[in-house]
Amino acid sequence: MEQDWIWGLVGGLLIGTGGAVYLLANGRIMGASGIIGGLVDGTGRSTAAERVVFLAGVILLPILLYPLYGHVDTHVSTNPLVIVAAGLLVGAGTRLANGCTSGHGVCGISRFSLRGIVATVFYILAGGLTVVFFRHLLGVI
Protein backbone atom coordinates (compact mmCIF):
# COMPACT_ATOMS: atom_id res chain seq x y z
CA MET A 1 0.00 0.00 0.00
CA GLU A 2 1.11 3.55 -0.70
CA GLN A 3 0.81 4.76 2.89
CA ASP A 4 2.89 1.95 4.34
CA TRP A 5 6.01 4.07 4.49
CA ILE A 6 4.20 6.82 6.43
CA TRP A 7 3.03 4.30 9.02
CA GLY A 8 6.55 2.88 9.02
CA LEU A 9 7.92 6.32 9.83
CA VAL A 10 5.27 6.97 12.51
CA GLY A 11 5.91 3.56 14.06
CA GLY A 12 9.65 4.13 13.88
CA LEU A 13 9.30 7.47 15.71
CA LEU A 14 7.23 5.72 18.41
CA ILE A 15 9.86 2.98 18.74
CA GLY A 16 12.64 5.56 18.99
CA THR A 17 10.68 7.58 21.55
CA GLY A 18 10.28 4.41 23.62
CA GLY A 19 14.03 3.90 23.42
CA ALA A 20 14.64 7.53 24.41
CA VAL A 21 12.36 7.17 27.46
CA TYR A 22 14.06 3.94 28.52
CA LEU A 23 17.48 5.56 28.19
CA LEU A 24 16.81 8.99 29.72
CA ALA A 25 14.47 7.84 32.49
CA ASN A 26 15.86 4.44 33.44
CA GLY A 27 19.38 4.65 32.08
CA ARG A 28 18.89 1.46 30.08
CA ILE A 29 19.38 0.51 26.46
CA MET A 30 16.14 -0.63 24.87
CA GLY A 31 17.20 -3.89 23.29
CA ALA A 32 14.46 -6.48 22.99
CA SER A 33 16.79 -9.50 22.97
CA GLY A 34 18.66 -8.23 26.04
CA ILE A 35 15.46 -7.47 27.96
CA ILE A 36 14.02 -10.92 27.17
CA GLY A 37 17.33 -12.77 27.45
CA GLY A 38 18.08 -11.36 30.87
CA LEU A 39 14.92 -13.05 32.13
CA VAL A 40 16.11 -16.34 30.66
CA ASP A 41 19.68 -16.40 31.96
CA GLY A 42 19.64 -13.80 34.75
CA THR A 43 22.42 -11.60 33.30
CA GLY A 44 22.41 -7.81 32.91
CA ARG A 45 21.76 -4.80 35.12
CA SER A 46 17.97 -4.52 34.97
CA THR A 47 15.73 -6.17 37.54
CA ALA A 48 13.33 -8.92 36.48
CA ALA A 49 10.39 -6.64 37.36
CA GLU A 50 11.66 -3.89 35.05
CA ARG A 51 11.95 -6.40 32.22
CA VAL A 52 8.53 -7.97 32.81
CA VAL A 53 6.80 -4.57 32.98
CA PHE A 54 8.53 -3.44 29.77
CA LEU A 55 7.44 -6.61 27.96
CA ALA A 56 3.91 -6.23 29.33
CA GLY A 57 3.79 -2.83 27.62
CA VAL A 58 5.07 -4.35 24.37
CA ILE A 59 2.28 -6.96 24.45
CA LEU A 60 -0.50 -4.72 25.77
CA LEU A 61 -0.40 -1.84 23.28
CA PRO A 62 -0.97 -4.05 20.22
CA ILE A 63 -3.93 -5.61 22.10
CA LEU A 64 -5.40 -2.13 22.60
CA LEU A 65 -4.72 -1.03 19.01
CA TYR A 66 -5.87 -4.25 17.36
CA PRO A 67 -9.63 -3.41 17.38
CA LEU A 68 -8.90 -0.29 15.30
CA TYR A 69 -7.47 -2.53 12.58
CA GLY A 70 -10.04 -5.30 12.70
CA HIS A 71 -7.69 -7.91 11.36
CA VAL A 72 -3.93 -8.09 11.02
CA ASP A 73 -2.37 -10.86 8.96
CA THR A 74 1.24 -11.48 9.92
CA HIS A 75 1.82 -13.84 6.95
CA VAL A 76 3.92 -16.04 9.20
CA SER A 77 5.28 -19.32 7.88
CA THR A 78 3.40 -22.43 8.94
CA ASN A 79 6.33 -24.72 8.23
CA PRO A 80 7.34 -26.11 11.66
CA LEU A 81 10.93 -26.68 10.58
CA VAL A 82 11.30 -23.11 9.31
CA ILE A 83 9.74 -21.57 12.42
CA VAL A 84 11.70 -23.64 14.94
CA ALA A 85 15.02 -23.22 13.13
CA ALA A 86 14.40 -19.48 12.78
CA GLY A 87 13.44 -19.10 16.44
CA LEU A 88 16.54 -20.97 17.63
CA LEU A 89 18.81 -18.90 15.35
CA VAL A 90 17.23 -15.59 16.42
CA GLY A 91 17.41 -16.52 20.13
CA ALA A 92 20.97 -17.85 20.14
CA GLY A 93 22.28 -15.36 17.57
CA THR A 94 21.01 -12.24 19.32
CA ARG A 95 22.32 -13.39 22.70
CA LEU A 96 25.70 -14.37 21.29
CA ALA A 97 25.94 -10.97 19.60
CA ASN A 98 24.48 -9.17 22.65
CA GLY A 99 21.82 -7.42 20.62
CA CYS A 100 19.26 -7.42 17.84
CA THR A 101 17.49 -4.91 15.59
CA SER A 102 16.51 -2.67 18.51
CA GLY A 103 19.68 -2.83 20.64
CA HIS A 104 22.36 -2.91 17.95
CA GLY A 105 20.24 -1.37 15.20
CA VAL A 106 18.21 1.48 16.71
CA CYS A 107 20.17 2.17 19.92
CA GLY A 108 23.62 1.32 18.54
CA ILE A 109 23.57 3.13 15.21
CA SER A 110 22.08 6.27 16.83
CA ARG A 111 25.18 6.57 19.06
CA PHE A 112 27.51 5.71 16.16
CA SER A 113 28.54 2.49 17.90
CA LEU A 114 31.00 0.49 15.80
CA ARG A 115 29.66 -2.75 17.29
CA GLY A 116 26.08 -1.78 16.49
CA ILE A 117 26.93 -0.85 12.92
CA VAL A 118 28.96 -4.04 12.31
CA ALA A 119 26.21 -6.21 13.83
CA THR A 120 23.58 -4.50 11.67
CA VAL A 121 25.61 -4.99 8.49
CA PHE A 122 26.02 -8.71 9.26
CA TYR A 123 22.40 -9.44 10.18
CA ILE A 124 21.05 -7.56 7.16
CA LEU A 125 23.47 -9.35 4.82
CA ALA A 126 22.67 -12.73 6.37
CA GLY A 127 18.94 -11.97 6.29
CA GLY A 128 19.04 -10.87 2.66
CA LEU A 129 21.03 -13.91 1.55
CA THR A 130 18.72 -16.20 3.52
CA VAL A 131 15.56 -14.79 1.94
CA VAL A 132 17.03 -14.94 -1.56
CA PHE A 133 18.29 -18.50 -1.06
CA PHE A 134 15.24 -19.98 0.64
CA ARG A 135 12.67 -18.06 -1.41
CA HIS A 136 14.09 -17.90 -4.91
CA LEU A 137 16.25 -21.03 -4.98
CA LEU A 138 14.47 -23.46 -2.66
CA GLY A 139 11.02 -21.88 -2.62
CA VAL A 140 10.28 -22.83 1.00
CA ILE A 141 9.53 -19.34 2.42
Partner 1 sequence: MRLLFAFIAGGLFGAGLFVSGMTDTSKVQGWLDVFGDWDPTLAFVMGGAIIPMAIAWRLVPGRKPLVGGDFPEPQEPRVSRNLVLGSTMFGAGWGLAGLCPGPAIASLSYGGVWHWVFAAAMLAGMALTPMLRVRLDRMVPAE
Under the criterion CB under 8 A, does residue 111 sit at the interface with partner 1? yes
- Provide, rounded to whole angstroms, the least separation between the CB of residue 107 and partner 1: 6
- Nearest Cα neighbor of 109 from 118, 9, 33, 23 is 118
- Nearest Cα neighbor of 30 from 14, 54, 2, 9 is 54
- Provide, rounded to whole angstroms, the least separation between the CB of residue 64 and partner 1: 8
Cβ neighbourhood burial of 98 (10 Å; 0-12, 13-18, 19+): middle
- As a three-state string, the secondary structure of 56-76 is HHHHHHHHHHHHHHCCCCCCC
Under the criterion CB under 8 A, does residue 54 sit at the interface with partner 1? yes
Under the criterion CB under 8 A, does residue 76 sit at the interface with partner 1? yes
Residues 95 and 5: beta-carbon distance below 8 Å: no
Residues 26-45 that bind partner 1 (CB under 8 A): 26-30, 32-33, 36-37, 40-41
Under the criterion CB under 8 A, does residue 130 sit at the interface with partner 1? yes
Under the criterion CB under 8 A, does residue 107 sit at the interface with partner 1? yes
Under the criterion CB under 8 A, does residue 5 sit at the interface with partner 1? yes
Under the criterion CB under 8 A, does residue 102 sit at the interface with partner 1? yes
